[in-house]
Amino acid sequence: MISLYVIGIVVGILTAFVLKKTAFHGEPVPFVMELPNYRMPGAKNVLRLLWDKAKDFLQRAFSVILIATIVVWFLKSFDFHFNLVADSHDSILAAVASQHHEHVDGRGYPRGLAGDQIHRFAKIVAIADVYDALTSERPYKKAYTPSVTHNIMVNVNIGQFDPDLLSLFFNNVAIYPVGTIVKTSHGIGIVKSCEFGHTETPEVVVFADKEGQLLKNPETYDFSEEGPKAIEGVINDNELRHFVHVLAIDPSIYLLDS
């Protein structure tokens, strides 16, 4: 291994010697670079620069901190009827914090509340909290996709959430984001568009049949007429590998052609 370094050094020296005698023969030209006069930064300029930076940060940070402080103060100072409370344990913030683990079927904790005993705000926070937990990476699991999260919260955790609020939530979250490869009642396709309010039934460009064979003429379907059951699910990695590696096709090209 050391011999390789030695040989490299020797070759470099010989190459430099040959080039000096041939391509770069003659007197070397001195390299001159003219630099501007150095000036010590003045205290006034330094202070002005520091103030500009600090002012920009404080303006942005103060806006966020002020708004957050006002919201937190309001939530912990008023109850659901907007009456000022003497004890923060009776506030909106305390009620939401203590109720967002309750289930509408009464199987939650800590008090086993059910139905209308749970405030609407707490039901909303419960949905957002679980969605964030499922779609975020944790030490014990990978982040779930929106479609898998939707399936868990709607079909697995039955009785945990208010069904009307859950439906409203997912109608404003892209269950099948643009570019998702899905199985449909007409074959395999790629999501072309997703309209809020109808996220369970996106517009899909179907480019292959259910066996994975490419169609000569891909077709675009608006599944809002057929309903959510027309979307059978998202294809897995092995099925996607069939198109990318076996058929050597990138499904995203169908978004350009459509």
Q: Is the pLDDT of residue 194 over 80?
A: yes
Per-residue model confidence (pLDDT) at position 123: 93
Are 164 and 189 within one domain? no
Sheet containing strand 203-208, edge to edge, reads 214-222, 203-208, 187-193, 181-184, 231-234
Residue at a domain's end among 116, 143, 170:
170
- Note whether residue 5 is domain-resident: no
Over range 231-235, report the average pLDDT.
Answer: 84
- Note whether residue 175 is domain-resident: no
What does DSSP say about strands 181-184 and 214-222: parallel, antiparallel, or unpaired? unpaired
Q: Verify cis geometry, omega within 30 degrees of 0, for the bond prior to 36.
A: no
- For 107, the token pair is 């199987």
- Note whether residue 228 is domain-resident: yes
Q: Is the pLDDT of residue 74 over 70?
A: yes
- For 117, the token pair is 């005993």
Per-residue model confidence (pLDDT) at position 258: 52
Q: 191 near 175, Cβ under 8 Å?
A: no
The length of the chain, given as a count of residues: 258
- Note whether residue 70 is domain-resident: no
**What b/e sequence results for 2-23 when a residue is b if at least 16 CB atoms lie within 10 Å of its CB, and e otherwise?**
eeeeeeeeeeeeeeeeeeeeee
Confidence of residue 127 (pLDDT cuts 50, 70, 90): very high
Per-residue model confidence (pLDDT) at position 201: 85
Are 192 and 161 within one domain? no
Phi, psi of 254 (to 5 degrees): -75, -20
CB atoms under 10 Å from CB of 78, counted, come to 16
In the chain, the number of structural domains is 2
Residue at a domain's end among 170, 192, 217:
170
For 249, the domain range is 181-257
DSSP string, 216-239: EEEEEEETTTT-GGGEEEE--HHH
Are 197 and 233 within one domain? yes
Over range 205-231, report the average pLDDT.
Answer: 85
Question: What percent of the chain is predicted at pLDDT more than 70?
Answer: 97
Over range 136-141, report the average pLDDT.
Answer: 87
- For 228, the token pair is 């959510």
Per-residue model confidence (pLDDT) at position 162: 92
What is the C-alpha separation between 255 and 193, in angstroms, rounded? 10
pLDDT in tens, 7-44: 888 888 888 777 777 767 667 667 777 777 777 777 88
What is the C-alpha separation between 67 and 199, in angstroms, rounded? 32
Residue at a domain's end among 149, 170, 191:
170
Question: What percent of the chain is predicted at pLDDT more than 90?
Answer: 12
- Note whether residue 220 is domain-resident: yes
Are 248 and 192 within one domain? yes
- Note whether residue 68 is domain-resident: no
pLDDT in tens, 90-116: 888 888 888 899 999 999 988 898 988
Alpha helices in the chain (DSSP H): 2-21, 43-77, 92-99, 120-135, 146-151, 163-170, 237-241, 253-257
Mean pLDDT, the chain, as a whole number?
Answer: 85
Per-residue model confidence (pLDDT) at position 1: 62
Are 117 and 160 within one domain? yes
- Note whether residue 47 is domain-resident: no
Q: Is the pLDDT of residue 198 over 90?
A: no
Contacts of 190 (CB under 8 A, 6+ apart): 179, 180, 181, 182, 204, 205, 207, 251, 252, 254, 255
- Note whether residue 22 is domain-resident: no
